[in-house]
Structures are given as structure tokens and as C-alpha cells.
Amino acid sequence: MSDGAGSKGRAGKGSRASSGAGRAGTAPKGAAARADAAAGAAAATEPTAQPEVQPATAASASPPTAEAFAERLLASTLGAVEILSVYLGDRLGWYQALAQADTLTAEELAGVTDTHERYAREWLEQQAAVGILELVRPAAGPDGDGAPAAFRLSPAHAEVLTDERSLAFLAPLARFFGAIGPKLPRLLEAYRHGGGVSWAELGDDAREAQSAGNRPWFERQLGPALASVPAVHDVLSRPGARILDVGCGMGWSTISLARAYPDARLVGVDVDAPSITAARANARAEGVEERIEFRAADAAELAGSEPFDAAFAFECLHDMPRPVEVLSAVRGAVRIDGAVVVMDEAVADELAAPADQVDRLMYGYSLFVCLPDSMSSPPSAATGTVMRPATLRRYAQQAGFADVEVLPIEDFAFFRFYRLLT
């Protein structure tokens, strides 16, 4: 890469951690990556202060003990259970109801959400036990048979769990677990015999996790981030610029580009028809549908398109079974004086053991979502979520690009922006 995506990108990640900004989405992925933001400052309305990205438990000088590792796995189990409990609260509308009320009892919560009181009570107690909710009034009586317990969701926790426009919004993280759970038998089958589990099979939980996780970053940060790179901003600002967004999902990146560049016309392409249906609805609701055409199509088949000034691939190239074909098609569809930008995970240059949280998180997504998705459509490059800079460079060169540079966009979740040069 012309600018050393490796060392520079890695430095960027380091500086992001130390400067206190960083990724909150991803992963989907966007959303999962936002763990840092939530942990850093749940009340964030601006890019949140981030805790430093910590390495995994380091291989220390003293040999590992069974007790220490058992404790670590127990802590992991507690975390997994909490995330699954967040899935319940998110999908049953319980957090929304709590956010709109001062306090609620189990009976009240079940009443306003049309759910079962006994389950609501167990969940409320568990949420208070793990510190997500406040117990404002314990149940009265020896068996809780007097006045019922009342619970509150603090504004800070409500932001993380219910505010879909906040950079600290993390509920989408739990939706990925909802998508993965039912597919574990299919994943085992794929791990034994090959093949995969497609994005379509992962279904609405995965689509909505991905879309909602990245949405606040696109809505709030994409315009300013691109404006900070004059060479790209100038292309996007051309009168009547045509902008392509491949793998656009539910369209929040395309919609945000339309907002940032009011003279531009945009085409969003995604092979997943339900995502495109949702993208059209989102563009209508946001009032930008006149300037955006959403197409349900394979991004490898752009031939014959009117030339574009710029093209983007946001957190999708590593999911694509045939990324080189897609990059070739993009190269052919963009004017020679245009701009092609790929946003993907800001992973390290190479495998480290132990790795930092970004790589650990992305390997997690890779095991359960991205690699099986990519391998569900053979022949597949089988990239996985941990698409290292050297891999992207190889794909870009195979697709006919001359080089790849890392754009100086930092503090954008856990993402790195690359420009592919002709």
C-alpha cells in the first residue's frame, strides 16, 4: 500500500485508543464493536471517550493455572448470559417501556408490552441482579407477596439500550446472538463438511443488528469524516456527482452520503432483497428517496452502468464470496478521475497471540457470521471478518487497481478507510 496500510493503520488504532476515541459498531458487527463506546461513556452524544483497547490475557512469565482460566471462562459465561438477557429486553420492547416510564413493576411491564408477567418478573430481577436496572423498591413481604418490586432504567443505560441514534447504542450487539443461536446446528454442519450459512439464512436479527449498529456512525460521522479528506471530498462534491454504494444493506450509508452531498445522485446495491426493501423504506422516511436508487443485485454485475464519480464498500467486502470480481466491477464502473473507498475492520497487520480486543471481536464475528456467510456461496475467497490490510491490497491488485492507501480517518468506530488507486 502506498502509505503502508499496515504500520500506519496500526498506529492509527493505537493512537485512537490512547486519544480516547474509537469504535463503539460493527458489527456490526458494527454494534458489537461499539462495546467500547458503551463501556466508555454511556451518556455519549458526541463520539464517546473510549477505554484503551486491552490485549487478551497475556501469556505471562508464570505458567497459566487451571483456576485462573476457569475464572476467566466463568466471567465469559456471565457476559454471555447478560447479552442474551439484553436480547430479550430489546426484542420484547421491555427496555423501551422502561425508558418511557419512571419505574415499573413486573405486572406493569407485562401489561404495557403484552408479555407474560411471570417471565417479566424473572427478567426484571435478573436485570437488577446484574446491575442493568435499578431496584427502586424491593418486593414487600417474606415471599414477595406484598407490594411488588419496582425497577428503573437509568437514562445512561437507556441510551445504550434504546437510543438508535446514539454512538453508544449497543442493543444491536445482542441481535447478532439472536441470529446465531438458531443456526448453531447449521454452523456445526458447515464446520464439518464445508459450505456455510448465508446472510439470508441468518435472517432479520443479523440484518437489523448490522444496520442498526452502523447507522449512528454513518448518520453522525460519515459526512465529517469524508469532508476531512479533500481528495475524496472534492470528488463527492462535483456538481451532480454519481455515487455508488455496494453492499449497502439497509441503506444508512447511502442515505448519509445523500445528506452530506445534496447535489449527488446515489445508487445503493445489495444482493439481499429484504435489505433493499428496508433501504427504500428508510430513504422514503428520511426524505431522500428522489436521489437514491436502490437495486437488489450482485455488485459484481455493474457492467453497463452509467459511470460513477465515486464508489464505496462499507464493511461488506470481507463478506463477499468473490471480492475480486466485485472490485473489478467497481473499477470498471467508476471514472478514472473518481474515488473508490473501502471501509473495513481496523484489524492488525498480522495475527498476534494474544490479540487486542478488535481482533478478538472480529474473529468472533468471523466464526459465526462473516466466514460462514462468505462460504455459503462457492466458489468463495473465504475471507472472514479479519481482512488484514495485505489481503485487501492483494484483492485490489487482482482487480486491476494500482495501489491502496489508508485514509487519515481515525476515531470512526473500529473501522479503517482505504482508498483504492487506479
Ligand X SMILES: C[S@@+](CC[C@H](N)C(=O)[O-])C[C@H]1O[C@@H](n2cnc3c(N)ncnc32)[C@H](O)[C@@H]1O
- The amino acid that residue 305 corresponds to is S
160, 246, 342, 392: residue in contact with ligand X (rule CB under 6 A): 246
With CB under 6 A as the contact rule, which of the stretches 15-23, 243-251, 334-342, 356-364 interacts with ligand X?
243-251
Q: Looking only at residues 87 through 106 of this chain, which bind ligand X when binding is defined by CB under 6 A?
A: none
User: In whole angstroms, what is the distance from residue 119 CA to residue 46 CA?
Assistant: 36
Distance between CA 29 and CA 23 in Å, rounded? 11
Binding mask 249-278 for ligand X (x = CB under 6 A): x---x---------------xxxx--x---
Q: Cβ closer to ligand X: 148 or 251?
A: 251
Interaction of residue 347 with ligand X, rule CB under 6 A: no
Task: Considering the complex, state which of residue 98 and residue 320 has its C-beta at the smaller distance from ligand X.
Answer: 320
- The DSSP H or E segment spanning 403 is strand 403-406
As measured in angstroms, the least distance from the Cβ of 87 to ligand X is 19
Q: 45 by DSSP, 3-state: which?
A: coil
Residue 326 engages ligand X in binding (rule: CB under 6 A): yes
Instruction: State the Cα–Cα distance between residues 207 and 199, nearest whole angstrom.
Output: 8
CA distances in angstroms from 299 to 218, 270, 295, 415, 422, listed in the order given: 21, 7, 9, 21, 19
In the complex, minimum distance from the CB of residue 213 to ligand X, in angstroms, rounded to a whole number: 7
CA–CA dist 173, 158 (Å, integer): 15
Q: By C-beta, is 14 or 224 nearer to ligand X?
A: 224
Which residue number, 205 or 270, has a Cβ lying nearer to ligand X?
Answer: 270
- Helix H or strand E segment including 124: helix 117-129
Interface size with ligand X, residues (CB under 6 A)? 24
- C-alpha distance from residue 102 to each of 67, 148, 307 (Å): 43, 15, 54
**Closer to ligand X by Cβ: residue 94 or 176:** 176
Residue 386 contacts ligand X per CB under 6 A: no
In sequence order, what are the beta bridge partners of 295?
269
Stretch that binds ligand X, among 12-20, 51-59, 145-153, 316-324 (CB under 6 A): 316-324
Minimum distance of ligand X from residue 264's CB (angstroms): 18
For residue 37, which phi and psi values (nearest 5 degrees)?
A: -65, -45
Give the residue with the Cβ less far from ligand X, 21 or 369. 369
Q: Which three cell numbers stand for residue 204?
A: 432479520
Rounded Cα–Cα distance for residues 248 and 266 (Å): 11
The answer to whether residue 247 forms part of the interface with ligand X (CB under 6 A) is yes
- Of 16-24, 134-142, 151-159, 314-322: span binding ligand X (CB under 6 A): 314-322
Report the largest interatomic distance among the alpha carbons of the chain, rounded to a whole angstrom: 76
Closer CB to ligand X, 85 or 374, in the complex: 374
Determine contact, residues 159/340, Cβ cutoff 8 Å.
Answer: no
Between residue 189 and residue 218, which ones bind ligand X under the rule CB under 6 A?
199, 210-211, 214
Rounded Cα distance, 341 and 363, in Å:
23
CB 217 within 8 A of CB 30: yes
What Å distances lie between residue 200 and 119, 203, 274, CA to CA? 31, 5, 9
Using CB under 6 A as the binding rule, whether residue 316 contacts ligand X is answered as yes
Sign of CA dihedral 357, 360, 363, 368: negative
Q: CB of 318: closest distance to ligand X in angstroms?
A: 8
In the complex, least distance from residue 404 CB atom to ligand X, rounded to whole angstroms: 19
Min dist. Cβ of residue 52 to ligand X (A): 25
- Residue span 2-41 as binding mask against ligand X, x where in contact by CB under 6 A, dash where not: ----------------------------x-----------
Where does this chain bind ligand X (CB under 6 A)?
Answer: 30, 199, 210-211, 214, 246-249, 253, 269-272, 275, 298-300, 314-316, 319-320, 326
